[in-house]
Amino acid sequence: MFAYVPSIRKYARSRSLAIGIGLILLGIDAQAQPDQKQVQNNVDDIVRRSSVQTKSYSEEFKNLLAKETKTVRIFDKKEALKKERVIVSNFLVYQFLKGTDETTEFRSVLSVDGKPVSGVEKRAIELFERISKASTTTSELERIQKESLRYDDEIQITGLTLFQGIALDERVRDSFLFEIVGRQVIAGSEAWAVRYTQVKDTDLIRISDKPAGPAVLEYDFDLGDLKNVSPRLRGTLWIDGKNYQILREVRELAIKPDGFETPVVIASNEFEYSPSEFGIYTPRRIVHSQFRVDPKTRRGVKEIEYLFEYSDFIRPKVEVTSDKPAQP
């Protein structure tokens, strides 16, 4: 299963963020006190089982539809709210016509700040007619993103729903330390809280200003004069103890430039999932926060926050991968 990587592009400055994403993992009994070897064996087993579930998520999630409410908040240098915009859309996980199991996010915008958008159905039909004639997947993607993000003035974000648990990807898993830190009931399900910390570099998780081959996660982020930033991921996963699916995740990307005594968070995400009729836990709420590094205080100052909230997902009655795709 391949999906276009989540990406975040900011207009006002030359700071942008391209996130390439992957799979999942977690869990284990923190109340019992087994020896260290047993604990590690249990964590490894949870990782393997959860990784399988993330692949099922990517497969089952395509072609699902929901109502999305996206709240964009922009902050000033003192972290006071400067601007807010609310965009409501029909959200579809779109499977490309020209690719093989390739997906992206499509948004048919219904209203902006409470004002209905005119011609929604006509625009969607015309878009899918043009897409059906596109010669390549790249052409399809460009048209979909242009339509989906046309009201996102400050920053553009796509793809956060398509993957789960980057740290669980087999390609980068050995770069992380996983620890069981607790047990918690979430949405009526008992879950294991597993903390992950990146402990060594990998070329598949990087900050750069140019694409440099395959990546699990890549940020295109202007950090000014900061050098040797040593990006590291850290976070916590809450995994259902019965089916090994992710119920919640908190993820942070921190850097430690030359001269800094402690790491500074430059981006964070919170993911919340809920049960669905499709056998997977689907997104309920996602928060993306982006921070500017203050060189004087050497701390992160919040610049942008994106809040995504979703209704229950359904499967459209039309087949969006047909030769003549209809409006979802």
Q: Where are the extended beta strands (E) located within the chain?
A: 2-3, 7-10, 16-18, 65-75, 81-95, 102-112, 115-116, 155-158, 176-186, 189-198, 205-207, 217-219, 232-240, 246-255, 264-275, 281-294, 299-310
pLDDT digit string, tens, across residues 194-234: 999 999 988 888 876 555 667 777 776 777 777 778 889 99
In a domain, residue 169? The reply is yes
Decide if 76 is inside a domain. Answer: yes
7 pLDDT tier (thresholds 50, 70, 90): low
* Domain assignment of residue 324, yes or no: no
Domain region containing 222: 2-310
Indicate if the pLDDT at residue 136 is higher than 50: yes
Question: How many structural domains are present in the chain?
Answer: 1
> Which DSSP symbol is given to 154?
S
The answer, yes or no, to whether residue 28 has pLDDT greater than 50, is no
- Residue 315 domain-assigned (yes or no): no
Please give the pLDDT value at position 10. 52
Assigned domain for 209 exists = yes
> Hey, how many other C-beta atoms are within 10 angstroms of the C-beta on 245?
23
Q: Let me know if residue 110 belongs to a domain.
A: yes
For residue 84, what pLDDT band results from cuts at 50, 70 and 90?
very high
* Domain-embedded: residue 13: yes
Residue 25 lies in a domain: yes
Give the model's pLDDT for residue 35: 58
